[in-house]
Structure 1
């Protein structure tokens, strides 16, 4: 991969990662607070609809698409980039994989799947909704910070190469 293409790829990764961070940040800042403040039936049902809608969104393509692209760029960097840029690329990839992808797959998605199987009007859903709101949002804070940090790493790597 030519150095110019790698610089532009890293900038694109930086922008994409920070866009993902922006969506996560919106949920951490006000979406979840609004949903949790609603009656449990309304909040849970709204989150069920959000989770179903996200499955057909550009956001999901970006969130999951960054995984193979960051791994590929990290592999290219391992064999074709020297100096600080390689470290920043590896750091961005590691941070994204652990704090965004793994947290999503092992933390948020199982909670979403459990919520999706529940009937909003049932008492068990109301009890779970309180737990869901607190724990899901904590994991989401991790994803917000992780995707932002990964974006910064990729942008710093691009600047180091430029």
Structure 2
């Protein structure tokens, strides 16, 4: 096998795994936006607090961690390979790299800079004495979840387009 065939197979494999991780996360965020956020908006302050605290503890599990971090690590490694092989000049490389940037900024960075601090704040709440800004926090959390959902879906579409462009 020639080095070109091996590098092409590696790129296809990495883009495929990136697409799978990205698709699972896009589905997770979409499902959350299309159902859980809407349900949380209907809850009283104390029930909202209890539910968010439960959800935020429950989501921190091994399976979610593997997929959540896999959706950033695998595409980042894949992007490095695309760049090192010079595939960034191809249509598939450009589509994939655009997807990685959108996912990183719109999903991962939003989670790290917006959702985790809000979740940590919510963890300090007591249902007996809620902060005055609880409704503002709920609205902000939901709005930013819709942003990361949109970014994850856009990224997933770009990953698929990159694979189609490769003819994979």
In the alignment of these two chains, the number of paired residues is 160
> Is 1:68 matched up with 2:73?
yes
Alpha-carbon distance, 1:67 to partner: 1.6
In structure 1, the partner of 2:56 is: 51
> Is 1:26 matched up with 2:19?
no
Pairs within 5 Å for 1:76-115: 76-80=81-85, 81=87, 82-115=89-122
Displacement over 4 Å in runs of 4+? none
CA radius of gyration, larger in: 2
Relative contact order (C-alpha < 8 Å, sep 6+): which is higher? 1
**Over aligned residues, Cα RMSD in angstroms?**
1.6
Alpha-carbon distance, 1:6 to partner: 2.1
Contact 1:32 1:133 in 2 (8 A): no
Structure 2: give runs of 5+ residues left out of the alignment: 1-5
TM-score (norm 2): 0.87
TM-score (norm 1): 0.90
115-124 vs 137-146, which deviates more?
115-124
In structure 1, the partner of 2:147 is: 142
